[in-house]
């Protein structure tokens, strides 16, 4: 890595903005800000370096300091991130004049890749995040995206979606979100709400409890199992799945991982819960397919760490409900894990459009 850095530094010395060989991808979350420093290796014998040649040089995470104060928008989060980036550069005898661009993934609505419109996790209202970061660093090429969109963009570039032109990446964790990629571009939606499939109301009513993420995200999966274990009446319909190995774990300590692990051991209750989760997710993805008809669904996020067992359940829920032409749409697990966001973010500023 040290050799590559030196070569890249030498290469960039004295060249203009087009020759800059360093860039940042940030994934700003409610708990940590992940910072990826990327570089474009010096050209080899294969002709000019393509955007796909960008490599991760270093990866750092800092704590997200949210603030109740609204008189200094974006602070202290963006200031902390700028300071950390400055340190990472200084350690390599670089500074922001060596940086081609900074891309940011943010867990809220982002308008025109510049302005954040409401982000509850960060305590932000309207924050012109790209402008603020430009001012803090002097870097002129700064772009932001919704974090689910950035993760999808990263997976399309270097992960499970590589080689495909259209994809929907579904992230299943404490909530459910998705990023829609078409012709290698992010579809953000006219109210920055494209891909908000977690808010589909899956039953006839219009109640929040009918939302997909209230049925299939991690807290819902956990609450369902806890309800069954704690209460005889709540177990109605599940009595043929009992006894279960899950009852050996104190209810308050139960995790989604425990449930998926038990399903891999063919515990009847755990298998049933995974099947039900896959069924409702598969139904929701059949709707996505009837609208957008992607080449591939990529399943990521904490719940996806259950692995193939969840993927198979989702596909089993999808196939019988999909329109015939789309029945063979591919399903794959995400490959970049927690790094998808920084890869997608850096791509925002390194990809030629």
Among 62, 96, 114, 182, binds its own copies (CB under 8 A): 182
CB of 89 to its own copies, least distance (A): 36
**Dist. CA 197–CA 211, nearest whole Å:** 9
Q: Is 294 in the site for its own copies (CB under 8 A)?
A: yes
Residue that the structure tokens 């998808």 belong to: 340
Q: Does 31 bind its own copies (CB under 8 A)?
A: no
Q: Are 129 and 75 in contact (CB under 8 A)?
A: no
- Shortest distance, CB of residue 180 to its own copies, whole angstroms? 7
Sheet with 115-119, side-by-side order of all strands = 109-111, 115-119, 124-127
Min dist. Cβ of residue 203 to its own copies (A): 9
Residue closer to its own copies, measured from CB, 295 or 351 = 295
- Closest CB 196 distance from its own copies, rounded Å: 5
| Site for its own copies contains 288 (CB under 8 A) | yes
Q: What angle do CA 73, 74, 76 make, to 5 degrees?
A: 110
Considering only 29-37, 50-58, 64-72, 196-204, which stretch makes contact with its own copies by CB under 8 A? 196-204
**Least distance (Å) from its own copies to the CB of residue 273?**
17
- If the CB atoms of residues 129 and 322 are measured against its own copies, the closer one turns out to be 322
Nearer to its own copies, 63 or 327 (CB): 327
Q: If binding is defined by CB under 8 A, does position 15 make contact with its own copies?
A: no
Would you count residue 287 as binding its own copies (CB under 8 A)?
yes
Q: Is 290 among the residues that bind its own copies (CB under 8 A)?
A: yes
Find the shortest distance in angstroms from Cβ 216 to its own copies: 14
How far apart CA 195 and CA 271 sit, in angstroms, is 28
Among residues 31, 46, 48, 190, the one that binds its own copies under rule CB under 8 A: 190
Asked whether the beta carbons of 152 and 180 are under 8 A apart, the reply is yes
Candidates 34, 272, 283, 347; binder of its own copies (CB under 8 A) is: 283
Q: How many residues bind its own copies (CB under 8 A)?
A: 39
Q: Could you give the CA distance from residue 17 to residue 140 in angstroms, rounded to a whole number?
A: 10
Rg (CA), the chain: 22
CB nearer its own copies, residue 197 or residue 274: 197
Query: Judged by CB under 8 A, does residue 126 bind its own copies?
Result: no
CB of 90 or CB of 291, closer to its own copies: 291
Strand partners, 102: 24, 142
Q: Which stretch binds its own copies (CB under 8 A): 59-67, 195-203, 242-250, 266-274?
A: 195-203
**By the 8 A CB rule, do 305 and 336 touch?**
no
60 forms part of the interface with its own copies (CB under 8 A): no
* Closest-CA residue to 313 (of 287, 264, 276): 276
- Asked if 26 and 102 touch (Cβ cutoff 8 Å), the reply is yes
Residue 180 sits in the site that holds its own copies (CB under 8 A): yes
Angle between the 256-264 and 268-292 helix axes, to the nearest 10 degrees?
100
308-347: which residues touch its own copies (CB under 8 A)? 320-321, 323, 325-326, 328-329
76 upstream amide cis, omega within 30 of 0 = yes
> Sign of the C-alpha dihedral, residues 19, 21, 27, 33?
negative
Query: Of 84-123, which residues contact its own copies (CB under 8 A)?
Result: 109
Instruction: Could you list the beta-strand ranges (E) of the chain.
Output: 22-28, 32-39, 55-63, 99-106, 109-111, 115-119, 124-127, 142-146, 167-172, 176-182, 185-187, 296-300, 330-333
Applying CB under 8 A, the residues found at the interface with its own copies are 109, 165-166, 180, 182, 187-197, 199-201, 204, 206, 283, 286-295, 320-321, 323, 325-326, 328-329
């Amino acid at each position: 890595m040290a050799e590559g850095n030196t070569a890249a530094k030498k290469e960039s010395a004295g060249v203009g903005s087009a020759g800059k060989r360093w860039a940042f991808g940030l994934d700003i979350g409610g708990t940590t800000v992940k910072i990826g420093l990327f570089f474009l290796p010096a050209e080899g014998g294969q002709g000019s370096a393509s955007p796909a040649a960008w490599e991760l040089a270093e990866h750092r995470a800092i704590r997200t300091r949210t603030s109740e104060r609204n008189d200094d928008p974006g602070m202290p989060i963006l200031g902390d991130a700028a300071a950390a980036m400055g340190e990472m550069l200084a350690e390599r005898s670089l500074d922001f004049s060596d940086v081609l661009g900074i891309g940011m993934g943010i867990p809220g609505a982002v308008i025109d890749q510049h302005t954040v419109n409401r982000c509850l996790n960060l305590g932000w209202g309207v924050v012109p995040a790209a402008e603020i970061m430009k001012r803090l660093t002097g870097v002129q090429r700064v772009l932001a995206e919704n974090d689910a969109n950035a993760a999808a963009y990263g997976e399309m570039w270097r992960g499970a979606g590589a080689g495909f032109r259209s994809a929907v990446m579904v992230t299943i964790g404490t909530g459910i979100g998705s990023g829609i990629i078409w012709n290698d571009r992010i579809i953000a939606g006219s109210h920055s709400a494209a891909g908000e499939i977690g808010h589909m109301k899956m039953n006839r009513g219009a109640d929040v409890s009918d939302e997909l993420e209230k049925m299939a995200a991690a807290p819902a999966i956990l609450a369902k199992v806890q309800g069954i274990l704690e209460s005889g009446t709540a177990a109605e319909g599940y009595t043929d799945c009992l006894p279960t190995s899950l009852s050996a774990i104190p209810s308050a300590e139960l995790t989604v991982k425990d449930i998926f692990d038990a399903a891999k051991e063919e515990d009847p209750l755990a298998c049933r819960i995974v099947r039900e989760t896959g069924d409702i997710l598969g139904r929701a993805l059949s709707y996505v397919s009837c609208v957008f008809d992607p080449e591939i669904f990529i399943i990521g996020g904490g719940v996806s760490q259950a692995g193939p067992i969840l993927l198979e359940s989702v596909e089993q829920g999808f196939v019988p409900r999909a329109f015939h032409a789309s029945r063979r749409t591919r399903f794959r697990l995400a490959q970049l894990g927690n790094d998808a966001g920084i890869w997608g973010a850096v791509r925002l500023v390194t990809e030629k459009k």
